[in-house]
């Protein structure tokens, strides 16, 4: 597949990202539409996977900075016809690279239970009890980001 993962910097691209989220979370998973977009969208950094051939957005996710060291990833979604081809992994890697560049130390997310194996492959660890969000069972997951080589050798 011929696609790229980019950070969203224009309103039109953000609307396309929201359209993917509506398709996946509202239409496919039955999340109430009024809960899908939220107040965090205005402060989050959004990423999209864009198919270079069709010029269409096929996947998305967002990153919220919770503190100088902690970021929270959310709304990870890939259109069903493009799943299982590494698009979700590539979006997550792009977010992690961005988080490292911002000197974040830890990433966390609320994983739907069915998606836990996907995040585990990426190095996230589930913790705590199962809880419901928008009627869907979730668990918290966390990952520590690597220190830079210079920090590792000087500390």
Ligand X SMILES: CC(C)(COP(=O)(O)OP(=O)(O)OC[C@H]1O[C@@H](n2cnc3c(N)ncnc32)[C@H](O)[C@@H]1OP(=O)(O)O)[C@@H](O)C(=O)NCCC(=O)NCCS
Question: How many Å apart are CA 141 and CA 62, to the nearest integer?
Answer: 16
In the list 76, 95, 104, 107, the residue contacting ligand X (rule: CB under 6 A) is 76
Q: Which residue is nearest to ligand X (CB)?
A: 88
Strand partners, 49: 5, 59
The window from 9-17, 36-44, 117-125, 127-135 that contacts ligand X (CB under 6 A) reads 117-125
- The nearest distance, CB 40 to ligand X, in angstroms, is 15
Question: How many Å apart are CA 38 and CA 23, to the nearest integer?
Answer: 16
- The nearest distance, CB 93 to ligand X, in angstroms, is 9
Residues between 77 and 116 with contacts to ligand X, criterion CB under 6 A: 77-78, 83-89, 111-112, 114-115
Cβ neighbours of 91 (radius 10 Å): 22
Q: Nearer to ligand X by C-beta: 139 or 145? A: 139
- Could you tell me how many residues make up the chain? 155
The torsion region of residue 88 among left (phi > 0), alpha (psi -120 to 50) and beta comes to alpha
147 in helix, strand or coil?
A: coil
Question: Per-residue x/- marks for ligand X, 12-51, CB under 6 A?
Answer: ------------x---------------------------
Q: Nearer to ligand X by C-beta: 64 or 115? A: 115
- Is 58 a binder of ligand X (CB under 6 A)? no
> Residue 35 — φ and ψ, nearest 5°?
-95, -15
Question: How many Å apart are CA 75 and CA 24, to the nearest integer?
Answer: 10
Q: Nearer to ligand X by C-beta: 5 or 87? A: 87
Chain residues that interact with ligand X, rule: CB under 6 A: 24, 76-78, 83-89, 111-112, 114-115, 117-118, 121
């Amino acid at each position: 597949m011929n696609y790229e993962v980019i950070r969203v910097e224009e309103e039109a691209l953000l609307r396309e990202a929201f359209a993917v989220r509506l398709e996946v979370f509202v239409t496919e998973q039955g999340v109430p539409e009024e809960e899908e977009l939220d107040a965090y969208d205005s402060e989050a950094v959004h990423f999209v996977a864009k198919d270079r051939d069709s010029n269409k957005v096929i996947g998305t996710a967002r990153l919220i900075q919770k503190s100088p060291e902690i970021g929270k990833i959310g709304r990870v979604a890939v259109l069903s016809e493009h799943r299982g081809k590494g698009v979700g992994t590539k979006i997550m890697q792009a977010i992690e690279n961005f988080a490292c560049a911002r000197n974040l130390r830890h990433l966390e997310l609320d994983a739907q239970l069915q998606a836990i194996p996907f995040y585990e492959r990426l190095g996230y660890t589930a913790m705590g009890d199962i809880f419901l969000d928008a009627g869907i069972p979730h668990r918290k997951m966390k990952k520590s980001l690597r220190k830079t080589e210079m920090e590792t050798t000087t500390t």
